[in-house]
Amino acid sequence: MKQPTRSQLVKKLDKVFSQYIRLSESDENGYGNCITCGTNLFWKQAQACHFYTRGRYPTRWDEDNVHYGCFRCNVLLKGNYINYTRYMLDSYSREFVDELEIKSQNGTKIPSSELKEKIEYYTEEVKKLKEEKGLL
Ligand SMILES: [Zn+2]
């Protein structure tokens, strides 16, 4: 069988990781609040919003860097960063957010084998969360 390209792996991991964030941060019925504006929405309508940008690969799939949000905040308000920063400082700490920034700027390339492992891991987690919540 033909091996998937790196960009195919990235795309696949983005998709399943986003599902994981939205399912893990929503309640037992699949509803959650946008972390930056508080709007309550169903996980399928929600977005997985990055604090440090997706362009920074070391934190692109870091659960501490990606949280539940709405289209308006993530896209129209370009991340709603004043509120997102408040959320990060309140949920973690200044030191943690600074360390996450250093991690986000680490230029080491993530090996494709690790991308594949993450895809497997999050696919399994998504399956479990959907079963738990009856969202199959
Ligand atoms: Zn919002």
pLDDT in tens, the chain (136 residues): 788 999 999 999 999 999 999 999 999 999 999 999 999 999 999 999 999 999 999 999 999 999 999 999 999 999 999 999 999 999 999 999 999 999 999 988 899 999 999 999 999 999 999 999 998 7
Specify the pLDDT at position 2: 83
CA 64 – ligand 1 centroid, Å: 18
d(C-alpha 12, C-alpha 61), whole Å = 12
Global model pTM greater than 0.85: yes
d(C-alpha 130, C-alpha 127), whole Å = 5
CA 116 – ligand 1 centroid, Å: 31
CA 88 – ligand 1 centroid, Å: 15
Task: Find the Cα–Cα–Cα–Cα dihedral 82, 106, 68, 49, rounded to 10°.
Answer: 70
Show me where the domains of the chain are located. Answer: 25-124
CA 56 – ligand 1 centroid, Å: 22
CA 81 – ligand 1 centroid, Å: 11
CA 71 – ligand 1 centroid, Å: 7
Q: φ and ψ at 69, to 5 degrees? A: -155, 180
CA 75 – ligand 1 centroid, Å: 10
Q: Is 104 left (phi over 0), alpha (psi -120 to 50) or beta?
A: alpha
Q: How far is CA 119 from CA 19, 22, 27, 31, 84, in A?
A: 12, 16, 23, 24, 27
CA 101 – ligand 1 centroid, Å: 23
